[in-house]
Structure 1
Amino acid sequence: MEAKKESHVKQYTSYALGAFGHDAFYATLSTYLMLFITSELFNGAAKGVKAHMILIITTMMMIIRLVEIVFDPIIGGIIDNTQTKYGKFKPWLMVGATISAIFLVLIFTDFGGLTNSNPMLYVIVFGICYVIMDIFYSFKDIAFWSMLPALSVDEKVRNNFGTTGRLGSTIGAQAVPIIIFPVIVFFSHMFSGTSGQTKTQAGWIGFAVIIALFSFGGALATTLGTKENTSLIRQNTKRTGVIGIFKALGKNDQLMWLAASYFLFALGYVVTNSLLAYYFTYVLGQSNKFTFAGWIMAILGVISVSLFPVIVEKVHRKAIYVGGIGIMIIGYILFLFAGHSLLGVLVSVAVFFFPYPMIFLAALMTITDSVEYGQWKNGTRNESVTLSVRPLIDKLAGAVANGIVGLAAVHCGMTGNASPSSISAGQLSLFKSFMFYGPMILIIVAAILYYTKVKLTEAKHKQIVKELEAKLESQKAAKDKKTATDAQ
Structure 2
Amino acid sequence: MKKYLSFAAGAFGHDAFYNTLSLYFVMFVTSQLFATSDQAFNTRMIGYVTILMTIIRVVEIAFDPMIGGAVDNTSTRWGKFKPWLLIGTLTASVMLALIFSSFGGLATNKPMLYLVLFGIAFLTLDVFYSFSDIALWSMLPALSMDSKERTRFGTVSRFGSTLGAQSVIIIIVPAVTLISGFFGASAGQQNQMGWLGYAVIVGLLASVGAIVLAKNVKEDQNLIRANVEHTRFRDVFKVIAGNDQLMWLALSYFLFAFSYVINNSLLLYYFRYVLGHAEAYALVGIITSILGVISVAIFPSLAVKISRKFVYIGGIGLMFIGFVIFAFAGTNLTMALIAASVIFFPYPLIFLATLMTISDLVEYGQLKSGKRNEAVTLSVRPLIDKLAGAFSNGIVGVVAIGAGMTGNAKPGDITSSGLFQFKAFMFYGPMVLLVISALIFLWKVTLTEEKHADVVKQLRKKLTNDAAATDNKE
The reply on whether 1:181 has 2:185 as its aligned counterpart is no
AA at the equivalent of 1:378: S
1:339 lines up with 2:313 in the alignment: no
CA distance in 2, matches of 1:45, 1:209: 28
Query: Is 2:127 the partner of 1:135?
Result: yes
For 1:210 and 1:424, locate their aligned partners in 2 and report how far apart those are by CA, in whole Å.
37
Are the aligned partners of 1:45 and 1:116 in contact in 2 as well (CA < 8 Å)?
no
Residue of structure 2 in register with 1:35 after alignment: 27
Superposition pairs of residues 437-456 of structure 1, within 5 angstroms = 437-456=428-447
Partner of 2:160: 168
Secondary structure of the corresponding residue to residue 182 of structure 2: helix
Q: Tell me the equivalent position of 1:364.
A: 355
Describe the superposition over 1:249-287 as per-residue Cα deviations: whole angstroms up to 9, x where unpaired: 110000000000000100000000000000000001111
Pair 1:225-2:219 in alignment:
no
Normalising by structure 1, report the TM-score. Answer: 0.96
Alignment of 1:81 onto 2:73:
yes
Percent identity over paired residues: 54
Q: Are 1:351 and 2:342 counterparts?
A: yes
Partner amino acid, structure 1, of 2:29 = I
Q: Distance in 2 between matches of 1:230 and 1:282?
A: 53
Alpha-carbon deviation of 1:297?
A: 1.0
In the alignment, which of 38, 43, 46 is matched to residue 46 of structure 1? 38
SS of the residue corresponding to residue 414 of structure 1 reads coil
How is 1:217-366 mapped onto 2 (pairs within 5 angstroms)? 217-366=208-357
Which of 133, 139, 149 is the equivalent residue of 1:147? 139
SS in 2 for 1:88: coil
Q: Distance in 2 between matches of 1:261 and 1:236?
A: 30
Q: Distance in 1 between matches of 2:235 and 2:420?
A: 48
Deviation at 1:243, TM superposition (A): 2.0
CA distance in 1, matches of 2:89, 2:350: 27
Partner of 1:205: 196
Where does residue 16 of structure 1 map in the other structure?
A: 8
Aligned equivalents of 1:45, 1:102: Cα separation in 2: 31
How many angstroms apart in 2 are the aligned matches of 1:396 and 1:91?
Answer: 25
Residues in 1 aligned to 2:55 and 2:187: alpha-carbon distance in whole angstroms? 38
Paired positions, count: 474
| Counterpart residue identity of residue 446, structure 1 | S
- Structure 1 residue 26 and structure 2 residue 18: aligned? yes
Which of 47, 68, 76 does residue 60 from structure 2 map onto? 68
Q: Tell me the residue number matched to 1:466.
A: 457
Letter of the 2:341 partner, please give it. Answer: A
Residue 473 (structure 2) pairs with residue 482 (structure 1): yes
Structure 1 residue 157: Cα displacement: 0.8
2:350 is the alignment partner of 1:382: no
Q: d(CA) in 2 for partners of 1:331 and 1:417? A: 29
1:232 maps to amino acid: L
Deviations 1:58-82 (A, max 9, x none): 0110000000011100000011111
Cα distance in 2 for partners of 1:59, 1:50 equals 14
Whole-Å separation in 2 of the counterparts to 1:197 and 1:330: 35
For the aligned residue pairs, the C-alpha RMSD in angstroms reads: 0.8
Instruction: Assess if the C-alpha contact under 8 Å between 1:40 and 1:416 holds in 2.
Output: yes
Q: Distance in 2 between matches of 1:446 and 1:21?
A: 29
Cα deviation, 1:26-69, whole Å, max 9, x if unaligned, reads 00111111111111111125111101111110011000000001
Task: Normalising by structure 2, report the TM-score.
Answer: 0.99
Provide, for residues 394-429 of structure 1, a one-character-per-residue CA deviation record: whole Å limited to 9, x for no partner: 010000011111111000000111110100111111
Q: CA deviation at 1:214?
A: 0.9
Which residue identity is paired with 1:393? I
The secondary structure found in structure 2 opposite 1:403 is: helix
Secondary structure at the counterpart of residue 171 of structure 1: helix
Output the CA distance in 1 between the equivalents of 2:5 and 2:321.
34
- Decide whether the 8 Å contact of 1:80 with 1:385 is kept in 2: yes
Secondary structure (helix, strand or coil) at the match of 2:181 reads helix
Unaligned runs of 5+ in 2: none
Counterpart amino acid of residue 106 in structure 1: L
Quick one: distance in 1 between partners of 2:379 and 2:428?
Answer: 30
Quote how far apart the aligned CAs of 1:210 are. Answer: 0.9
Residue aligning to 2:382: 391
Q: How far is the alpha carbon of 1:482 from its aligned partner?
A: 2.2
Q: 2: CA distance between counterparts of 1:387 and 1:136?
A: 16
User: How much has 1:146 moved relative to structure 2?
Assistant: 0.4
Q: Quick one: distance in 1 between partners of 2:259 and 2:452?
A: 29
TM-superposed CA distance for 1:451, in Å, is 0.5
The residue identity in structure 2 corresponding to 1:167 is F
Distance 1:196 1:295 in 2: 23
Q: CA deviation at 1:310?
A: 0.8
- CA distance, structure 1, for counterparts of residue 188 and residue 255 of structure 2: 37
Q: In the TM superposition, what is the alpha-carbon distance from 1:195 to its structure 2 partner?
A: 3.2
Structure 2 residue aligned with 1:424, among 394, 410, 415?
415
Residues in 1 aligned to 2:139 and 2:244: alpha-carbon distance in whole angstroms: 22
Give distance in 1, aligned partners of 2:192 and 2:235: 46
Structure 1 gaps of 5+ residues are 1-8, 484-488
